[in-house]
Chain A
Amino acid sequence: MLLALESSGLTAGCAVIDNGRLLGEYNTNFKKTHSETLLPMAEALLNMLEISPADLTAVAVSAGPGSFTGLRIGSATAKGIALALDIPIVPVPTTAGIAYNLYDTPGILCPIMDARRDQVYTGCYRWKDSLFETLTEQRAMDIEELSEELKTYKENIIFLGDGVNVYKDRIDEILESPHSYAPEHLRYQRAGAMGMLAWKYLEEGRAIPGDEHSPFYLRKSQAERELLEKEAESGK
């Protein structure tokens, strides 16, 4: 029995998966902070499903990239549950979780998350013979650079993620090859899809001890970036 926690972006959500079956999920995109919604939703979902936290055998978390604060709320929550129940954590790359919304869909799946400063967090995924493949690992990059890179693919490219709302016009301008955008209801992080991917990871033995988990920020803090720049300038 796996509890999946999603708080990397605007939506917060949780899902329970047992034996590869999605027993329930609860997603909200509301003005309250994830700190106020995530655990109350998990509690409500478990109550509805008549499951006790002690029945859980793993906890999955959307591990990043995403909002630094959101990632920490999810990861600290997952760590607390893992520590208390002595169960492992299944970290799920956020962009893989988003791409998993489009099950067995032909083409290149390219989630783009708005990382500000003209950048996106992105990765590329593809279904091949009903198997989910990672084409490029997730990273932070300029949207222009990504669009250039995507020109090499001949298949249709489907964009997902909250970056679509920000960069759709720029992508249409640069990218002449066929591409499309995931519909609103499948575009963003959803705990159910992420949890199903986590279940696959769990079966593949990709769970880790809770204290070894840290979010995938994909970016240093601003203070560290500035310090490195200063050191580079002074030729250190």
Chain B
Amino acid sequence: MAHKDIKILAIETSCDETSAAVVENGRKVLSNIISSQIDIHKLFGGVVPEIASRKHIEKIDPVVKKALEEADCDLSQIDAIGVTYGPGLVGPLLVGVSHAKAISFATHLPLVGVNHIEGHICANYIEHPDLEPPYLCMVVSGGHSHLVKVCDHGDFRILAKTRDDAAGEAFDKVARAIGLGYPGGPKIDKLAKEGDPEAISFPRAHVNDAPLDLSFSGLKSAVLNYMNKCQMTGVPINRADIAASFQKAVVDAIVEKMMMALDEYKTDTICLAGGVAANSALREACIKACDERNARFIYPSPVYCTDNAAMIGVAAYYEYMRGIRDGFDLNAVPNLKIGAGHK
């Protein structure tokens, strides 16, 4: 029996992108509108929550309308509303959550709250129609670095995480130190192409009692120390070499944990997700390492790595299909943990 297509209108406002999307059956993106505020936050060297919240309020209506328009549908053709309710910045989250709840209230469409990080993981379904759990996923973004086992749809287990800074945070801090500005990830990625990744030997941290855990704060300090030493001894600083060597250290650490995880959990599929998954050196290193051991490596296109509502629509679909519904008291949960939402 052919069953009805399910269309989800999804809204994402957890940080500095206002995004809305329409996704069909959890796999087909009919629209994915992203309004970035990056130019404003650049002036401040990072995301200012109050400014982000104000921009979300201005953009939310046009972005949602455009998502419906591009998907060529109106609310009467939508089956449910999905919205990111955490983790993220509370002010920005509340704009999306309040807006989504109000649409649900006005239309009687079911409401499904989505965990932002689970959304990042689900981004992999969009371009890989045959991907199904179980599989492993390394989530690396500005606020998160987690190794997750996706046991089933809606069943996420954290296997390891960063002990201190998230990967993207390390990129931002080092970018600031070498004068590249915000956002650090893409800028380091670009500059690193001109540098020598072997020029400077930066440390790859190992966490003794938890071999799969990551740590980036020592690496960040090592970069700062190296720059201080250069300045004191009058050695000229080669920013491209620093960028390339730092990036290599981050990539090595992440890829090493991913390969260890494949061994330990005896699986042959591993995904990458989150903003840092757009890093070209990380992608190449993962492709190479997985090729060597005949493992399947899956990663989203850059547009689905950064914050976007399409991935929220995918995650919302699987939550919707297993009967998850939220009430109008759904609140923003800034520190929502992976797998800690609906049971």
Contacts and interface: CB of A to CB of B under 8 A. Distances in A.
26 contacts: A35-B98, A35-B331, A36-B329, A39-B101, A42-B328, A43-B105, A43-B328, A53-B105, A54-B106, A56-B106, A72-B54, A72-B91, A76-B57, A76-B98, A77-B99, A77-B102, A79-B60, A80-B102, A80-B106, A83-B61, A83-B103, A85-B106, A215-B57, A221-B48, A221-B51, A227-B43
Interface string B29-67: 000000000000001100010110110111011101100
Question: Which has the most chain A C-beta neighbours within 10 Å: B43, B51, B100, B328?
Answer: B328
A75 B331 contact: no
A43 B104 CA distance: 11
Contacts of A40: 327-329
B94 A69 contact: yes
Interface residues of A, number: 36
Contacts of A210: 61
Interface of A is mostly: helix
B331 A36 contact: yes
Nearest to A223: B48
A84 interface: yes
Is chain B's binding surface mostly helix, strand, loop or mixed? Answer: helix
Interface in B300-340: 327-332
Given A40-B328, A43-B328, A76-B94, A84 B50 contact: no
Contact of A83 (B44, B53, B65, B331): B65
A187 B103 CA distance: 32
B174 interface: no
B228 interface: no
Contacts of B98: 35, 38, 72-73, 76-77, 80
A33 interface: yes
Interface of B: 43-44, 48, 50-51, 53-54, 56-58, 60-62, 64-65, 75, 90-91, 94-103, 105-108, 327-332
Interface in A96-133: none
Interface string A183-217: 00000000000000000000000000011001101
Nearest to A74: B98
Contacts of B94: 35, 69, 72-73, 76
A84 B91 contact: no
A79 B331 contact: no
Contact of B97 (A35, A211, A224, A227): A35
Contacts of A37: 329
A68 interface: yes
Interface of A: 33, 35-40, 42-43, 53-54, 56, 68-69, 72-73, 75-81, 83-85, 210-211, 214-215, 217, 221-224, 227
Given A39-B105, A40-B327, A211 B62 contact: yes
Given A39-B102, A84-B103, A227-B43, A79 B91 contact: no
Contacts of B65: 83, 211
Contact of B106 (A35, A69, A73, A84): A84
A221 B100 CA distance: 25
A80 B103 contact: yes
A83 B51 contact: no
A214 B55 CA distance: 10
A77 B101 contact: yes
Contacts of B54: 72, 214, 217, 221
Contacts of A68: 50, 53, 91
Contacts of A217: 54
B328 A39 contact: yes
A83 to B, nearest CB: 6
Contacts of A54: 106
Nearest to A217: B54
Contacts of A84: 75, 102-103, 106-107
Report the 5 A-B pairs with minimum CB-CB distance, sorted nearest first.
Answer: A80-B102, A211-B61, A76-B98, A84-B106, A39-B328
A227 B44 contact: yes
Contact of B102 (A72, A81, A222, A223): A81
Given A36-B329, A76-B98, 12 more contacts: A35-B330, A42-B105, A43-B105, A53-B108, A54-B106, A72-B91, A77-B102, A79-B57, A83-B64, A84-B106, A84-B107, A214-B58
A162 to B, nearest CB: 21
A224 B53 CA distance: 13
A80 B100 contact: yes
